[in-house]
Amino acid sequence: MKILRWLDKHFEEFIMFIFLWIIVAVAFLQVIMRYALRSSLAWPEELNRYLFIWFSYMALSYSVRYDCPTRIDILETLIPKLKVPLSLICDAGFIAFCIYMLKPGLGVVSQLVQSNQVSPAMGVPMYLVYLGFYVGLILTLIRFVQKYILLFVKFTSEHKKEK
């Protein structure tokens, strides 16, 4: 149970931490190879690009988990009473977008699986790169479900205390 609780709180953080460290280490290796040894490698830029793609989609889920989405909040700042309704509208729109994009995302991944396309420098199957989008959408939807279940539980427990 402790492991599940830890994963719930830190899964995206852990993945993003690992990806960021790999990105930094590989970029450092490429700098050393290019400027100190005067010989560059072909694969570091490609690996860093693909890890950054996965990192970005993990960040979507992370932002939902910690309720820190990227959005313009000038109306919320000017009219604080609108914060809750606008947050609900933004969340509903983002949930709708995630649900809508599941089918096209899976379509792209399945086409890449069938085509056996690989990346030029590393030979990585391209569906693994595009799978980051799909995994990010699913994790984001899971985090939205968690968020609203927790809000519902909090609301009902506060409502019971009032009675």
pLDDT digits (tens, 9 = 90+) for 21-63: 999 999 999 999 999 998 889 899 999 999 999 999 999 999 9
CA distances (Å), origin 47, targets 18, 35, 54, 155: 13, 19, 11, 45
Mean pLDDT of the chain: 92
Backbone angles phi, psi at 125, to 5 degrees: -60, 130
78 CB contacts (<8 Å, ≥6 apart)? none
Please tell me the pTM assigned to this model.
0.88
Within 13 Å of residue 104, how many CA atoms lie on the same side as its CB?
A: 5
CA neighbor of 19 nearest in space, from 54, 57, 43: 54
Q: Which pLDDT value is given to residue 163?
A: 64
pLDDT mean over 110-137: 96
Amino acid at the residue 78? L
Confidence tier at 82 by pLDDT (50, 70, 90): confident
CA neighbor of 91 nearest in space, from 134, 10, 54, 146: 146
Backbone angles phi, psi at 6, to 5 degrees: -65, -45
In this structure, are residues 77 and 28 in contact, taking their beta carbons and an 8 Å threshold?
no
